[in-house]
Amino acid sequence: MTSPQPQAEPIAVLRRAGSSLLVDLAPSGGGLPEVLHWGADLGEIDADLGAQLRATAATGVPRSSFDAPRPFTVLPTQADGWSGTLGLSGHLAGTATTPRLALHGYSLDTAGAAHVLLLDLREPGGGLDVELRYALDPHGVLRASASVIAPPEGTGARYDLAALRLLLPLPARAAEVLDLTGAWARERAPQRRELLDGTLLRRSLRGRPGHDSPLLLVAGTHGFGFRSGEVWGVHVAWSGGAEYLVERLPERAGAHAAVLGGAEAVAPGEVRLAPGERYDSPDLVFCHSEAGLDGLSERLHGSLRARPEHPASPRPVVLNTWEAVYFDHDIDRLRALADRAARVGVGRFVLDDGWFRGRRDATAGLGDWRVDPVTWPDGLGPLAEHVTGLGMEFGLWVEPEMVNPDSDLARAHPDWLLHPPGAPGRAWRHQYVLDLGREDAWRYVHDALTALLDAYPISYLKWDHNRDLHEAVHASPSGPVPGVRRQTEALYALLGAVRARHPGVEIESCASGGARVDLGILRHTQRVWASDCNDPLERQTIQRWTGLLLPPELVGAHVGPPVAHSTGRAADLSFRLATALFGHPGIEWDITGCDETELAALTAWTALYRELRPLLHGGRTVRADETDPSAALHGVVARDGGHALFCLAQLDTSGAAQPGRTPLPGLDPDRRYRVRARTELGEPVRFGTADPAWLRPGAPEPVLTGRALGALGLPLPRLAPQQALLLEVRAAD
């Protein structure tokens, strides 16, 4: 990787946007480089200050312990006196279980957009080689990854990797932990706990992140919230198995209190490296903020928006046909639906499940990616031409990684299923996983998809993935082996190959809703489906916490029918519209049955979205902590601070007779702002009280400073449950 370097820079410093990482390349006790600091920027580190940091890094030595202080290195192992979860774990035919690595070389580049530190760690005598990479981008987001290279020829054995983890230190003031959990149609449910001694390990062994994915594991100071507290977070940018951990030991981590990190979750025997072969970890995305969770989101959203693969074109309003027609594909009905969609301002019409051979329900047809000749005797061309003739894009649902036993593909190639030898095991939604790690199966799917894209004007694929990967076993020439990693890499290659041939096609990552939301899949897709639940009450929480990691333009948010498919709960149209506005909005509803009042509301909503789209998809996401527990306030503030839109969502009845003043966060404290209610989506229903004076008809719009709006706020009406009030704020100066 690099040649040995003279230690002219014994402390490597990465500094960007108020964050910093300090690594001691020549620690006084010898051994591997030590992490001196990760978090807030410490300013310029000159030689004298670096020497002082090194001198003060060593802790005392407690009784019943090693005779020298325990360091916290870039790759903690027992050779460093580390008693916690190991950075590197594996063996060479039962040997080489305790590697003793040393720094062989490094490079430090602080001239580019990202500041990058590369470390080459090697075992003396030709053992393991580990490369570590840290890149701190202009938004203060740190991406870390690692590679392990097996010993060269001569050992005669494969290196079995158990784990390669990236860990960074936390200070003692990190006292609480937040992560997310969930289930189908109820993803992104937050859970908090005190940071205590021991290991908090969140591991997904589902072959995908899962509905219960932690998404972002956050440690923070006592009582941290959206707008306050110091926080440290990590995300594993990988679409297969993953693990997240925070750990605190009684000995502490060198001069630090705890560690935060993660890794790909590697199955036993999944990574066996022949002499000289390498394993590359996924990126771990670390982020720190002194401004609470919104500060984390601001950094992460800015970093994601700066990617070359981030969607550049304005996000069109989508109509997806699933909850409108389900499997009932009738071309006249779909044409009528498209006509209504175009009328209300939809820009993308997506034909969901049910268009391919033998697909009358969920039990048959997966894998046979040919247009059904019975349902569609003239192919998809007539519908696609009708849609594009109305000025909309045409999209199509696919689930390429899955197969029904009742399909031509499964009958012709039962050996293409991803399962152990013998019976395929438990079905899930009447389907099994197609082994994309097989070249022939991969090629079949690739050719089937590109044939569809060649034949029809498809500009969008809704790419679904409706089951976990249990007993994921690949039939290799040497025998059955674990298949999740191979499947994940094959999926990435397939997505890349499809878009290389059709670069204008956008792809949505859907996985029974929100079970595959991660930054690994988003390197190859342009949107995620946050949940199969379109109930706006549930969606308020789902979208609020998905937005912790992702900016709203990457998150599909649809208006469902009056009674939600997933919960059976009825909701007012204005509340459904306001909820879906704060994402990449769409419609999941048979709007051919709408009356003129409903169609007018949908038309006003799409117009409002197009008006506010630059703000919604370019501003800073903000969320208030200081609201009544029965309500949630969130919004988007323009980067220049001149424009904002807030939504007060009333989730339940309030215990207060009057809400009092509600702060509007994130505005420039020194600017004056004019506030008005946007009522295009309808006036929200009040809960039996008169409006505050400033909201009454004929009252002048209030003009207040951002400091006053953030500290005091405005008195707001007492809304009925499942109602939303939109407030637009514009600079008055």
Give the residue numbers annotated as catalytic, written as ranges: 464, 532
Q: Which single residue is written with the structure tokens 């994402």?
A: 583
Contact in structure between 218 and 296 (CB atoms under 8 Å):
yes
Q: How many CA atoms lie within 13 A of 648 on its CB side?
A: 31
Residue type present at position 491: L
State the alpha helices, DSSP H only, in 591-733.
596-616, 706-711
Distance CA 400, CA 511 (A): 12
Distance CA 554, CA 305 (A): 10
Closest CA to 184 of 201, 200, 208, 203: 208
Distance CA 156, CA 585 (A): 57
Backbone angles phi, psi at 449, to 5 degrees: -70, -45
Distance CA 82, CA 84 (A): 6
Distance CA 318, CA 311 (A): 15
Residue type present at position 465: H
Closest CA to 517 of 257, 256, 115, 213: 213
Q: Which single residue is written with the structure tokens 């079949």?
A: 444
Contacts of 217 (CB under 8 A, 6+ apart): 177, 178, 179, 202, 233, 234, 235, 244, 245, 246, 260, 262
List C-alpha distances in Å: 602 to 342, 568, 585, 598, 689.
11, 22, 11, 6, 28
Contacts of 418 (CB under 8 A, 6+ apart): 432, 433, 434, 435, 437, 469, 472, 473, 474, 483, 487
Q: Would you tell me the crossing angle of helices 536-546 and 573-581 to the nearest 10 degrees?
A: 10
Contact in structure between 445 and 398 (CB atoms under 8 Å):
no
Contacts of 593 (CB under 8 A, 6+ apart): none
The token duo for 294 is 């919104």
Q: What's 681-694 look like in SS3?
A: CCCCCECCCCCCHH
Contact in structure between 297 and 552 (CB atoms under 8 Å):
no
